[in-house]
Amino acid sequence: MQFVYLAGTRARLEQRLASRRGHFMPSALLDSQLAILEPPAPDEHAWVCDIGEPPDRIVAGLIALIRSR
């Protein structure tokens, strides 16, 4: 099993939430979600992906990591 941590700034997350239509999570909940978010510790060896990249590029990068193992 491999954990993937999608990392991004609050501003980027808010932007993404605002662009979603018909999604269940309103941007008003973002602060409470970030307050309890625990980024993975180094010993958890999570793959960290920057959400500033387009989703298809993130997925392609993850697939490349899997294939290189």
As a whole number of angstroms, the distance between CA 15 and CA 51 comes to: 11
Residue 21's pLDDT is 76
The domain of 13 spans 4-68
Residue 46's pLDDT is 95
CA distances from 48 to 13, 26, 27 (A): 15, 25, 23
Q: Would you tell me how many other CB atoms lie within 10 Å of the CB of residue 49? A: 19
Number of domains in the chain: 1
Residue 27's pLDDT is 74
Task: Show the low-confidence residues of the chain (pLDDT under 70).
Answer: 23-24
Residue 23's pLDDT is 67
Q: Which amino acid is at 3?
A: F
Q: What are phi and psi of 49, to 5 degrees?
A: -120, 135
